[in-house]
Amino acid sequence: DGGITQSPKYLFRKEGQNVTLSCEQNLNHDAMYWYRQDPGQGLRLIYYSQIVNDFQKGDIAEGYSVSREKKESFPLTVTSAQKNPTAFYLCASSRTGGTSGRPSTDTQYFGPGTRLTVL
Amino acid sequence: GEDVEQSLFLSVREGDSSVINCTYTDSSSTYLYWYKQEPGAGLQLLTYIFSNMDMKQDQRLTVLLNKKDKHLSLRIADTQTGDSAIYFCAESSAVKFYFGSGTKLNVKP
């Protein structure tokens, strides 16, 4: 089966701790994305990666970090600097990475999400 | 910046048609999308339309695009209780991928 997986489904963290959310895809997509979803709001882009070993900040990157060492993996670390980390986090991928410095406009396919709660 | 706006709620009876509306501001949008999100799940791509089309039909789903008014709608025929979910409109342009805040569709038996 091809698709995007995120783990874990639910994650609890104590205040002041860093935590890493996993996102893996076997679709051979070049581009991957992280979004945050808060209740009653749309998706906000945190980081995106157009190609391996490269990533760009999205609209709300502060307090987050990412890496893209492998094409199929794009982990997101929520650091203690993120003031309000409790949210639903969605990972997505798209076939191509877009033009230089700009996200792709290809259709994005989403993982099932990780719900992070800070205690 | 670019905005995508949707009404927050829609309630219909089972068997009726549902129409979910969306407006956007970026006239350079190339593709417009409808995604469905069931509770606690990720987003599922339902359908999309290229900006030079004005209508697309896919089984019970009909997408209408009025490019002049920057208005997109999703019509679901014969709405079922399984259609209850949040529906997101999204647009992609030369710059970014933007999502609306979602319309929660409640289907009453």
Cα gap A59→B13, rounded to integer Å: 38
Parallel, antiparallel, or unpaired for β A64-66 and A76-78? antiparallel
Distance CA A76, CA A13 (A): 14
| Interstrand relation of B103-108 and B9-13 (parallel, antiparallel or unpaired) | parallel
CB of B100 within 8 Å of any CB in chain A? yes
- Per-residue pLDDT tens over the stretch B22-74: 999 877 777 889 999 988 888 888 998 988 889 999 999 999 999 999 999 99
Contact A3, A27 (CB under 8 A): yes
Contact A42 B94 (CB under 8 A): no
Indicate yes or no: CB of A113 within 8 angstroms of CB of B42.
Answer: yes
Rounded-to-integer distance, Cα B70 and Cα B25, Å: 7
B91, amino acid identity: E
Shortest CB distance from B101 goes to which of A41, A104, A107?
A41
Cα diameter, chain A: 40
> Is the predicted pLDDT of residue A50 greater than 70, yes or no?
yes
Alpha carbons within 13 angstroms on the beta-carbon side of residue B48 total 18
Q: What residues are paired with A76 via a beta bridge?
A: A21, A66
Reported as a single tens digit per residue, the pLDDT across A74-118 is 999 999 888 899 999 999 998 876 655 455 557 788 999 999 999
B95 interfaces chain A, CB cutoff of 8 Å: yes
Residue A6 has pLDDT above 50, yes or no: yes
Query: Which residue type, as a one-letter code, is found at position A66?
Result: V
A113 Cβ contact list (under 8 Å, min separation 6): A6, A9, A37, A88, A89, A90, A91, B40, B41, B42
Residues of A contacting chain B (CB within 8 angstroms): 4, 6, 33, 35, 40-43, 45, 90, 92, 102-113, 115
Interface of B with A in 51-70 (CB under 8 A): none
Min CA distance, A28 vs chain B (Å)?
18
Lowest mean pLDDT, pick from A18-32, A42-56, B54-68: A42-56
